[in-house]
Amino acid sequence: MKKRLLVLEDGTVFTGTAFGSDRASQGEVVFTTGMTGYQETISDPSFYGQIVTLTYPMVGNYGINRDDFESITPAIRGFVVRELAKTPSNFRCDLTLDDYLTSKDIPGIEGIDTRKLTRIIRSKGSVKAILTAADEEVNVSEVIAQLQTTPAITHHVREVSPKAAYPSPGRGKRVVLIDYGMKHGILRELNKRDCDVLVVPYNTSAEEILAWHPDGIMLSNGPGNPEDVQEGIETVRNLIGKVPMFGICLGHQIFSLASGAKAFKLPFGHRGGNHPVKDLRTGRTDLTSQNHGYAIDIESLQDTDLELTHIALNDGTCEGVRHKKYPIFTVQYHPEASPGPEDSNHLFDEFIEMMEVEAGKGKQHA
């Protein structure tokens, strides 16, 4: 078995066993707390540029199947686990996790102390790291110096957003879905409700979107810093008040920034399928699926037309807002789950209902 190193920019070095691709890879190392759903995690575009660590100890025991992908091409830079299951057992299994990562040219490392790594990230924040071979040709001091001088990745969204628009037809409400790095679970939920969806790139103008005469607009999830997506912010600013909108994760952040709020980077982010969120309107608490490294500053909402609707019970950060004047609401978490609990799936029904109400108003005025 080949040995592999995971080298952090603070000088910490983990030695483990290689799996997946043989290539070296650099990225921001983060952790996610989900007990299942590693296939969805690997294929989630919001992990673009990141080396993903799973806190659950054994990974790969049900293999990879054809049904649980959230995108066609994985965007992660590496995969870190405590123990890799070599012989998966599940009736849906098509291939092993090792074989899948090899086919997608993504390196992995197993056999390291993932609890120690997680504690480092929790105390120091997300850090840059390199997965590289453990051989005499690798100079660890040079690797650390490279990490410390290499700038962080920016403009993640343009790497994962589609280059051209495409339809996902239905006979229900007409929805334009702005794809900042969409999980396919969002599209599945809209299709399940028979929406006639047009998926468009992140830099599509408001004029182009409105020319399709949508009943509603969906703002998808995606990776990175929302402030990097200036084209998206400008588009959403020009759409506010024109048509109902529903935003998820990065879409929530972009809408909030377009409305005058501010964002900040979390120390180590929220990633996993077990994050409790309280709905301030009903008092209900949902367990939610999350994957984000930035959050909206609650104090910055005071001078906007947005009201806070949801908070994270773990750290009190903003998890949802609603526009005070127009039919627009957004959440920081993932109501489509994939992976994770489906407690908040009802938000898609609220979006459909909101579009129907607005359509009814239009008929009254006609």
* 218 and 204 Cβ atoms separated by less than 8 Å: no
Peptide bond into 327 cis (omega under 30): no
Annotated binding site: 46, 222, 224, 250, 253, 291, 293-294
Radius of gyration of the chain (CA): 21
**Which residue type, as a one-letter code, is found at position 29?**
V
* 339 and 36 Cβ atoms separated by less than 8 Å: yes
The residue from 9, 110, 189, 336 that is catalytic is 336
Tokens of 170: 């239905």
- Annotate 60-97 with b (16+ C-beta within 10 A) or e (fewer): bbbbbeeebbbbeebbbbbbbbbebbeebeeeebeebb
Instruction: Indicate left, alpha or beta for 155 from its phi (over 0: left) and psi (-120 to 50: alpha).
Output: left
Annotated binding site for L-glutamine: 46, 222, 224, 250, 253, 291, 293-294
**168 CB neighbour count, 10 Å cutoff:** 16
Instruction: Indicate left, alpha or beta for 216 from its phi (over 0: left) and psi (-120 to 50: alpha).
Output: beta
**203 CB neighbour count, 10 Å cutoff:** 16
Q: Closest by alpha carbon to 218, among 164, 173, 257? A: 173
Asked about 318 being catalytic, the answer comes back as no
**Which residue type, as a one-letter code, is found at position 81?**
V
**Whole-Å CA distances, 116 to 5, 13, 39, 76, 336:** 15, 11, 24, 21, 31
Asked about 336 being catalytic, the answer comes back as yes
* 366 and 358 Cβ atoms separated by less than 8 Å: no
The residue from 28, 195, 249, 275 that is catalytic is 249
Q: Closest by alpha carbon to 7, among 150, 151, 149, 146? A: 146
| DSSP3 helix / strand / coil % (the chain, rounded to 5) | 30, 30, 40
Asked about 249 being catalytic, the answer comes back as yes
Phi and psi dihedrals of 16, rounded to 5? -145, -165
> To which residue do tokens 């293999």 refer?
63
Q: Which residues are catalytic?
A: 249, 334, 336
